[in-house]
Amino acid sequence: MRFAILVTLSVAAACSAGLVVVMMPLLRRYALARPNARSSHVEPIPQGAGVAVVLATLLATCIGLLVAVPQDDAVREAVVVLAASILLATTGAVDDLRPLGPVAKLVPQVVAVGLVVLLAPPPEARLFPALPLGMERALAIVAGIWFVNLVNFMDGIDWITVAGCGVPLAALTLLGAVTTLPGIAMPLLAAALCGALIGFAPFNKPVARVFLGDVGSLPIGLILGYGLYRLALGGHLAASLILPLYYLWDSGATLLRRLSRREAFWEAHRSHVYQRATDAGWSVAAVVAHIFILDLLLGGLALISVWQDSMSVSAVVLVVAMALVAASCAKLTAGPSAMRETSA
């Protein structure tokens, strides 16, 4: 299994980087992202490199499955997740080129997340056995749709998706390499997507030469969200919350902040922590480095939670993770000047 994961990761990274290079002339000509109310860039930048990330993930996962020689259930799981990801990638590609209305974007998301929740995991897997099965699955679908959009909304500065999604994906890959969690298909999917993001990263480093676009951020949210869901179904709910905790905290706090101010929360804005951090004086590179280090610490805490496999330890680790994220977000929004004043 470890060899299959290594092959999957390597193939995905090489394939993603190669595809980005090949696609760049077309993206420059047909897929420019122009600045808007929530943008952190001031000049048009090509978008759509998510096509390379998705294709690399698809190819690498297939190769990984061939190397691992999994059972039929693992193949079925991977096929369902990849098919749903392609649906979201197609929707995102259309939206990148010609913006879609809310309903046109929501319907494919409901279908894709519904397919993944209902068909990908083992039928007997339960998160909250006390709830009726239908209610549990419905709540999982709603949470999945929210998470897909969360990842999309958070993809607002260079390298943030590489850091914010790449580290949790690496943690899921590591868990698959050293344990039986969460099955065979999910570690390969996580390794493939993590590798694809690594291949994309050099082209997105500040100042970015190309963006993912919705064609990339939507399926990335789906695959990562499913990996976290599978981790939770395996009995590790705390770890599944700790790994994406910065994203959850940033988006949740931003939503509550906007609601408290009676703002139209569905409209484009620059209220996320990472956006307020750049407005406060941090460079994009500094913000992303901060998030990357924070996510590494969260990844370590999540791994402790899984390996200890204790409810009390998981509760303590989750509280520590929340305190860490709260302090980090406060530091980011305060700006570098506050750090200098404090040190003085």
Q: What is the pLDDT of residue 270?
A: 75
Backbone angles phi, psi at 253, to 5 degrees: -65, -35
What is the pLDDT of the chain when averaged over all its residues?
Answer: 91
* CA 275, 280, 286, 291 torsion-angle sign: negative
CA distance 85 to 70: 21
SS3 269: coil
Would you say 256 and 125 are in contact if contact means Cβ atoms under 8 Å apart? no
pLDDT tens per residue, range 227-263: 999 999 999 999 999 999 999 999 888 888 888 887 7
First to last CA, the chain: 52
pLDDT at 223: 98
Chain centre to alpha carbon of residue 129: 27
For the segment 31-55, the average pLDDT, to the nearest whole number, is: 80
* Residue carrying structure tokens 């080129």: 97
What's residue 207's pLDDT? Answer: 86
CA-angle at 7, arms to 211 and 148, nearest 5°: 40
- Position 148 scores a pLDDT of 97
Determine the Cα–Cα distance for residues 226 and 276; give it in Å rounded to an integer.
29
Residue 276 has pLDDT above 50, yes or no: yes
Q: Under a CB-based contact definition with an 8 Å cutoff, are residues 33 and 215 in contact? A: no
Q: Which residue has the tokens 């494919």?
A: 108
**Residues 140-155 pLDDT 10s:** 999 999 999 999 999 9
* Start-end of H helices in 309-343: 311-334, 336-343
pLDDT in tens, 59-98: 999 999 999 877 778 899 999 999 999 999 999 999 998 9
pLDDT for residue 242: 97
Question: Can you name the residues that pair with 45 across neighbouring β-strands?
Answer: 33
Tokens of 324: 């860490």
Q: What is the pLDDT of residue 344?
A: 46
Per-residue burial over 12-35, b = 16 or more CB atoms within 10 Å of its CB, e = otherwise: bbbbbbebbeebbeebeeebebee
Q: Give the tokens for residue 217.
A: 């951020």
Task: Bin 218: left if φ > 0, else alpha if -120 < ψ < 50, else beta.
Answer: alpha
Output the pTM of the full model: 0.93
Exposure on the CB side of residue 217, measured as CA atoms within 13 A: 24
Confidence of residue 320 (pLDDT cuts 50, 70, 90): very high
Token pair of 317 as six digits: 């680790």
The pLDDT value recorded for residue 253 is 86
Q: What is the CA radius of gyration of the chain?
A: 19
Question: By mean pLDDT, which of 32-41, 66-75, 154-163, 277-286 is the weakest?
Answer: 32-41
The pLDDT score that the predictor gives to residue 255 is 84
